[in-house]
A and B are shown apart, each in its own frame.
Chain A
Amino acid sequence: MSEPLALTGAPNEPSATGSVRTLPPSLAAAPARRRAFTEALAAWALAGPAVFFLLALFFLPVIGVFVIAITDWQFGGLTLSFVGLANFREIFADDGFRASLVNTIVYVLIVVPGTLVFGLLIALLIESGKSCRSFYRAIHFLPFMATLTAMAVAWEALLHPTIGLVNQTLAAMGLPTANWLRDENTALPVLAVIGIWQNLGYAMVLFLAGLKSIPQDLYDAADTDGADLWLDRLRTVTLPLLGPVSMFVVIVVALRAFESFDTVKVLTQGGPGHASEMLLYTLYRESFEYLRSGYGAAVAVVFLAIVVTLTLAQVRLMDRRVHYQ
């Protein structure tokens, strides 16, 4: 609908500029205003489709969630009434939600540092070696590419209490075994380990790219300055210059960790009890299994608030310390 406008606007332009040349300066203001208007119209026509879809697909749903969060609407229900902040009072009074929130935070606090440290370690190992680099890169990147739901089946088999490889190995070495996914002390840590395993390759690829971009001159300078031991080189050159990459890895992995859903759904269903329940899983169950849309929307609002706050805080804090300008 907006495109014909843009088309008529364009041929007008040359004639408008043509008239400017013949008019005295005092009268030239009107065509100039008209040209500015045409330009604005063209700009909106060009940005229009993107703006429309952005509104329809991102902003409207978010507003919808905020609205539903202050109603008692049930999915498929024909009536609703506004209940104010009752849903929020309810979720924060709910032990299940509180457990889910704490679990999510614990999970993120394990997965982010774990991914960062091991991703960097593997990147440094691959970079320091000479042979089979692309093989190691590919094999570590594989978990990130694969569908986690499918991979979760393999993990389930590995962690099976009796026939699983993990317990059989532990038993053979005379170490204590556990029912990893059904024990409330191990369920969440095991999910976190799987989370690290999955994100590791992504972090590694980013770190490898970051390592490549460090100028060799800096290592040479460190050598002549006396910082030539592995740890000194790491502290003087490698780690500081990986700062920007690390910031990116932390943000992306933290967001992915907050959103983890598939391992919970496939492996533990949040159990035993609420031991491995996480925000997105709670959100899914309340909204789509119990059809409590108002409650679910309130969880979604909390989730959104956490993610947005986290992103802004990380960008603000780390940007200042990591870009050396």
Chain B
Amino acid sequence: MASVSIDSIHKNYGATSVLRGVSLSIADGEFLTLLGPSGCGKSTLLRILAGLEMQDAGSLSIGERAVDNLRPKCRDVAMVFQSYALYPHMTVASNMGLPLRMRRLSTFQRLPLLGRLLPGTARIAAEIDAEVTRTAKSLGIGHLLARKPGQLSGGQRQRVAVGRAMVRHPAVFLMDEPLSNLDAKLRVQMRAEIKELHQRLGVTFVYVTHDQAEAMTLSDRVAVMLDGELLQVAPPQEIYADPDDRRVAEFIGSPKINMLDGVVRERGLIDVAGSTLAIGADALAGAHLTLGIRPEAFHLAERGGQGVLTGSVRMIEHMGSDLFVHFDLAGGDHPLIARLLAERAPDIAPGQTLHVGVRPDRVLLFDRNGRRLRQEVESGRASVTPIREVAR
């Protein structure tokens, strides 16, 4: 068990800067997910943490111990790879036992035939076998120990890879997109198993993924990375509801958040797409802002007016309890998506005019650089109530 601290890590490949001063501290026993699109540097950060690559600058410590100059095997971390990286010529038992054999047996004891004759080898080998069997049983792969990886299904290989990491009780688990090679159904199942594993073992997990569903469901905290920088590190709910950066807001959430350009008319009022919303922004009159509105922050309104956006319906996606309504604002350059309750909006048809109200407290404001502008909570709240009355 150990905490992890990452201090201003830099990494370049030639002229390309992959990590630009990433700092992060991970608490003992925490499940932290590095989330970002491919090429954002999340895997590189994980590999640096594992010791498979060296950082160009910055320092790392695991459990109060600086590990910058330690080889991977000395860092007390175990890694699960996207490809599982199982040794194809070894049985499941040998695959899982390898980390223990490498640690507990000497070079001579590991020799193919001679090693068995040396004193102690048989006893240690029996201990290793027992531990491997116990771990395999706890993962439900006890019956597969004699098979080779080529004879296993994707989910079984995944479990073997996890077992190989578990068997030596590492202080930190590193997982590099471990579920991305599985089909959708299995992915959901293995996601639950990984969550359960974390709760059972109670050790620190660092998990890399580009899948926001995995990040949101598994993590204690999510670290969103983009272009080699950490944009925000926060619990999943906070990442979703209270993003610090426009790019975080756009990366998280499906369907994607709607982005609208607006201009501050006066304190507490913003002009947007031919309508006016009562939102308290910490900005001067005339300032250009971007409004981020999650699809579920819209609700159906009967007529246009203040706090209501009007557009024409382009397309409707039925999702059972919800409708995803794609609509074009007059003069808007890209369609917006509203997530409406199906029972409240039974007869919307493409081509029809749509009025949607916006909850001002759910609107996220960003300045022109993409930084979040917090709403002035008191004045914002004060103006919320009448608008909502109008909308209903």
The residues of A with any CB-CB pair to B shorter than 8 Å are 215, 217-218, 220-221, 223-228, 231-232, 236-237, 240-241, 243, 324-325
Contacts and interface: CB of A to CB of B under 8 A. Distances in A.
A227 B149 CA distance: 19
A324 B150 contact: yes
B150 A221 contact: no
Contacts of A231: 107
B89 A324 contact: yes
A223 B150 contact: no
B89 A220 contact: no
Interface string B205-246: 000000000000000000000000000000000000000000
Contacts of A232: 102
15 contacts: A215-B85, A218-B85, A220-B50, A220-B52, A221-B86, A223-B52, A224-B50, A224-B72, A224-B77, A225-B98, A226-B102, A228-B71, A231-B107, A240-B88, A325-B148
A325 B151 contact: yes
B146 to A, nearest CB: 14
Interface string B36-57: 0000000000010011100000
Considering the complex of A and B, which 8 residue pairs feature the smallest CB-CB distances, nearest first?
A: A226-B102, A221-B85, A217-B85, A240-B89, A226-B73, A324-B88, A325-B150, A225-B99
Interface string B50-90: 11100000000000000000011100011101110111111
A221 B102 contact: no
Contacts of B81: 217, 220-221
B10 interface: no
B103 interface: yes
Q: Is the interface of A mostly helix, strand, loop or mixed?
A: helix
Given A220-B50, A226-B103, A324-B89, 14 more contacts: A218-B85, A221-B85, A223-B71, A223-B73, A224-B50, A225-B73, A225-B98, A226-B99, A228-B71, A228-B73, A232-B102, A236-B87, A240-B88, A243-B89
A237 B88 CA distance: 9
Contacts of A241: 88-89
B355 interface: no
B151 A225 contact: no
B24 to A, nearest CB: 21
B203 to A, nearest CB: 15
Nearest to A217: B85
Contacts of B90: 240
Contacts of B83: 215, 217
B150 A227 contact: no
A224 B78 contact: yes
B48 to A, nearest CB: 12
Contacts of A220: 47, 50, 52, 72, 79, 81, 85
Q: Which of A226, A236, A243 has the most CB of B within 10 A?
A: A226
Contacts of B148: 324-325
A188 to B, nearest CB: 32
A236 B52 CA distance: 17
B164 interface: yes
Nearest to B53: A220
A229 to B, nearest CB: 8
A157 B237 CA distance: 82
Nearest to B97: A225
Contacts of A324: 88-89, 148-150
B135 to A, nearest CB: 14
Nearest to B50: A224
A322 to B, nearest CB: 8
Contacts of A217: 81-83, 85
Interface in B100-115: 102-103, 107
Contacts of B89: 240-241, 243, 324
Contacts of B78: 224
Nearest to A223: B72
Given A215-B83, A218-B87, A240-B89, A223 B51 contact: yes
A29 B103 CA distance: 72
Contact of A240 (B82, B87, B103, B164): B87
Nearest to A237: B87
Interface string B116-146: 0000000000000000000000000000000
A18 B81 CA distance: 58
Contacts of B52: 220, 223-224
A232 B72 CA distance: 14
A324 B150 CA distance: 6
Contacts of B73: 223-226, 228
A324 to B, nearest CB: 4
Given A324-B148, A324-B150, A225 B71 contact: no
B79 A227 contact: no
A228 B71 CA distance: 9
A228 B73 CA distance: 8
B141 to A, nearest CB: 18
B103 to A, nearest CB: 5
A91 to B, nearest CB: 41
A240 B88 CA distance: 8
Contacts of B150: 324-325
B98 A228 contact: no
Nearest to A235: B110
A228 B52 CA distance: 11
A104 to B, nearest CB: 31
Nearest to B73: A226
A237 B164 CA distance: 16
Given A324-B148, A325-B150, A224 B102 contact: no
Contact of B79 (A215, A218, A221, A325): A221
A212 to B, nearest CB: 16
Nearest to B89: A240
Nearest to B174: A224
Nearest to A232: B102
A324 B73 CA distance: 27
Q: Which of A220, A221, A236, A241 has the most CB of B within 10 A?
A: A221
Contacts of B71: 223, 228
